[in-house]
């Protein structure tokens, strides 16, 4: 494993007065500063309140009430949290394996959380780890399925994406910490009562990224394998080529950023990345890690906006590619590909037809 590369799930968070209060926001913010991939929450380009997922929020007229906030107890007895996504059928949640391993217990799921009030709740009857997970995100098998005690009827689950989303823009969601990509401060729980969203583009696979970094002789990369699956990698762009980290690694980039760009941070681990197929949002990625990669590696000038903010401009994130684990997911859940309806659908624009209630955030120049 590369130096300091690890998933981060924000242990020892302040405990709420009620069980409905544990929350993390999804974009580019980490719960602690590390110099390599760490697990997820959210950092955007404007105030986190602009990125809340409210009860009235619709993405292409679809409510995302199947987004799960996962709380649990650490072996130390303190509480922590991650994110997840309810699968179609209402009986399973897909999350990151590092959220539920190493003696964690007392798992509790809340769905559609708005202002710390959940639309639906469930206990977990079974934790099913990916058979290739061994505690190391570099094996690209950071997945687990949580079986609910009874099928959930109060929220809509997601079908899984069965092909690669490489090069595509995705909708990211989560209950992690929040912050600003252009800040010198790390993400925080200042907007902890809501889930959050953002956009990004999967520019490369983890193997493509590591191969490009090795070709430039960059240090402390670790040993990666895609024998068990794939990971998508994205960077946090702001329109400045200096912070286009993947672009500076042998051109592994689709550009200098898209509208509503964001990155995951602490507590977003296990949360979902979604692609629009013209009719529904399909779960294509599961947040695994974020990485303040540039510090000490890419210099003159550095592509790291701030060493204090591990979810700032220039930092990286990795999400486990769902399509590369379809056989395992289907073997556990019994999910099959939906039968397409006659005709074709025109894909809606990447702007998502989003949210009349939300102020349009300003992107930095």
For domain 19-333, give the CATH number.
2.40.10.10
Angstrom distance (rounded) from CA 340 to CA 361:
36
What pLDDT, on the 0 to 100 scale, is given for residue 284? 99
Q: Please, what is the average pLDDT of the chain? A: 80
CA angle 348, 353, 354 (to 5 degrees): 140
What pLDDT, on the 0 to 100 scale, is given for residue 339? 60
- Would strands 272-276 and 281-291 be described as parallel, antiparallel, or unpaired? antiparallel
* Domain boundaries along the sequence of the chain: 19-333
Q: Would you place residue 215 in the very low, low, confident or very high pLDDT band (cuts 50, 70, 90)?
A: very high
Q: What radius of gyration do the chain's Cα atoms show?
A: 18
- The proportion of the chain whose per-residue pLDDT surpasses 90, expressed as a percent, equals 56
- Would strands 42-44 and 178-180 be described as parallel, antiparallel, or unpaired? parallel
Phi-psi region of 17 (alpha: psi -120 to 50; beta: other; left: phi over 0): alpha
Q: Would you place residue 305 in the very low, low, confident or very high pLDDT band (cuts 50, 70, 90)?
A: low
Task: Count CB atoms within 10 A of the CB of residue 266.
Answer: 37
CA distances from 338 to 1, 161, 328 (A): 38, 11, 17
Name, in order, each residue with C-beta under 8 angstroms of 31's C-beta and a sequence gap of 6 or more: 8, 9, 10, 13, 41, 176, 177, 186, 187, 265, 266, 267
What pLDDT, on the 0 to 100 scale, is given for residue 184? 62
Contact 92, 146 (CB under 8 A): yes
- Is it the case that residue 26 has pLDDT exceeding 80? no
- pLDDT tens across 126-172, in order? 999 999 999 999 999 999 999 999 999 989 999 999 999 999 999 99
What pLDDT, on the 0 to 100 scale, is given for residue 109? 98
């Amino acid at each position: 494993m590369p130096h300091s590369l690890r998933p981060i799930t924000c242990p020892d968070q302040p405990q709420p007065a009620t069980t409905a209060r544990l929350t993390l926001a999804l974009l580019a913010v980490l719960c602690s500063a590390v110099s390599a991939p760490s697990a997820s929450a959210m950092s955007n380009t404007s105030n986190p309140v602009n990125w809340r997922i409210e009860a009235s929020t619709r993405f292409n007229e679809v409510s995302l009430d199947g987004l799960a906030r996962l709380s649990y107890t650490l072996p130390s007895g303190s509480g922590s949290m991650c994110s997840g996504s309810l699968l179609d059928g209402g009986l399973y949640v897909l999350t990151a394996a590092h959220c539920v391993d190493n003696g964690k217990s007392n798992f509790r799921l809340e769905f559609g959380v708005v202002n710390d009030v959940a639309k639906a709740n469930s206990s977990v009857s079974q934790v099913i780890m990916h058979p290739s997970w061994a505690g190391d995100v570099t094996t690209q098998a950071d997945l687990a399925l949580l079986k609910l005690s009874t099928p959930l009827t109060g929220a809509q689950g997601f079908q899984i994406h069965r092909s690669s989303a490489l090069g595509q823009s995705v909708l990211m969601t989560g209950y992690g910490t929040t912050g600003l990509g252009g800040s010198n401060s790390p993400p925080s729980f200042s907007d902890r009562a809501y889930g959050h969203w953002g956009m990004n583009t999967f520019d490369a696979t983890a193997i493509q990224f590591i191969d490009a970094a090795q070709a430039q002789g960059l240090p402390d990369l670790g040993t990666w394998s895609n024998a068990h699956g794939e990971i998508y990698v994205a960077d946090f762009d702001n329109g400045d080529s200096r912070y286009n980290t993947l672009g500076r690694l042998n051109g592994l980039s689709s550009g200098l950023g898209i509208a509503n760009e964001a990155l995951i941070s602490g507590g977003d681990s296990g949360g979902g990345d979604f692609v629009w197929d013209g009719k529904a949002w399909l779960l294509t990625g599961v947040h695994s890690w974020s990485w303040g990669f540039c510090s000490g590696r890419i210099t003159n000038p550095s592509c790291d906006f701030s060493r204090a903010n591990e979810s700032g401009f220039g930092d990286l994130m990795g999400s486990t590619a769902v399509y590369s684990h379809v056989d395992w997911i289907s073997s556990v859940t019994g999910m099959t590909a939906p039968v397409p309806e006659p005709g074709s659908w025109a894909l809606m624009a990447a702007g998502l037809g989003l949210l009349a209630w939300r102020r349009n955030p300003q992107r930095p120049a």
